[in-house]
Amino acid sequence: MNRIIAILVVCAAACSDDAQSPGSSDPGSTGTAGTDQPGEEAGTDAGSSCLMAGADCSSAPNGCCNGAVCISDTRMPDVGHCAVTCLSNTQCASGCCATLASGTAKVCSPPQFCSVACTMAGGFCANGEMCCPGSICVASTVDGTRCADTCIASTQCVSGCCAPLDNQPSTNVCSPATFCSCVKAGGSCAAGELCCAGTACVAYGNSGTYCGALCTAPAECASGCCAPVPNKPYSVCAPPQFCGL
């Protein structure tokens, strides 16, 4: 019986350009955060005597020029420097525009704050490795626990197979070709057969266990019945009696 399930959805942010978040603290304070994470300390101060980017702001946390904030590394919390605020990596000489942990701003930071590695599709993720954006960690009976690209159609996959997850049938991932030898809506899945994308294996009471087409409204179903599946976040097309028709 071939099965494939989602293990962990990761890398929504951890592998993006600002994957490693610098720490933060309240404005005007000398706060600290996690290891290797600078903390946000100050606002900006226009004027001819303001401190330029890179200047020491340890004794004047509010003294950075407009467009910069005073940050500190937690390994040296009493030493701060002015850092330029940014919106993207291309605005920084270091190539790294990292988000402060407070979420209030992004600042140009050393490259290591944007260099969290991620595992490409096909790589193993059984030990908690982070999958790259656009992929999730899944476990299958065919090739173990690996990162797999999410997909909408089989043409997006090298294997030619875009299959639904067993425990999240509304999510499809590029899978080994064997997972696309599937049962269409209305076919039996009582013995663990794989239902095709857009369907889910559901027990219809005494009527048996079949692959039911996922739906959101009765109009999508020939029976006129789109019934919620108990303890699941989705509904499937079902015989009329399941909707009291």
Summarised one tens digit per residue, pLDDT across range 45-102 is: 444 589 998 899 999 989 999 999 988 765 667 888 899 999 887 888 887 888 776 6
Q: Say if residue 108 is in the same domain as residue 57.
A: yes
Mean pLDDT, rounded, for 20-25:
39
Tell whether 193 is covered by a domain. Answer: no
HSE-up of 31 (CA within 13 Å, CB side)? 19
Mean pLDDT, rounded, for 185-214:
88
Q: Say if residue 144 is in the same domain as residue 211.
A: no
Residue 112 confidence class, pLDDT cut points 50, 70, 90: low
Which of the listed ranges 20-29, 42-51, 212-221 does the model predict with the highest average pLDDT? 212-221
For residue 146, give the nearest of 123, 119, 171, 174 by alpha carbon: 123
Domain span holding position 165: 4-12+118-180
Tell whether 150 is covered by a domain. Answer: yes
Residues present in the chain in total: 245
For the full predicted model, state whether its pTM sits above 0.85: no
Show which of 81, 114, 147 is a domain's final residue.
114
Q: Say if residue 203 is in the same domain as residue 169.
A: no
Mean pLDDT, rounded, for 22-47:
38
Q: What is the pLDDT of residue 148?
A: 92
Q: Say if residue 110 is in the same domain as residue 43.
A: yes
* 138 pLDDT more than 60: yes
Cβ atoms 125, 117 nearer than 8 A: no
Amino acid in position 12: A
Residue 104 confidence class, pLDDT cut points 50, 70, 90: confident
Contacts of 126 (CB under 8 A, 6+ apart): 7, 139, 144, 145
Show which of 180, 207, 226 is a domain's final residue.
180
Q: What is the pLDDT of residue 2?
A: 54
Tell whether 192 is covered by a domain. Answer: no
3-state secondary structure of 179: helix
Percent residues over pLDDT 90 in the chain: 29
Show which of 114, 138, 169 is a domain's final residue.
114
Q: Say if residue 71 is in the same domain as residue 127.
A: no
Alpha-carbon gap, residue 213 to 198, rounded angstroms? 6
Contacts of 163 (CB under 8 A, 6+ apart): 4, 172, 173, 175, 179, 180, 182, 194, 197
Tell whether 27 is covered by a domain. Answer: no
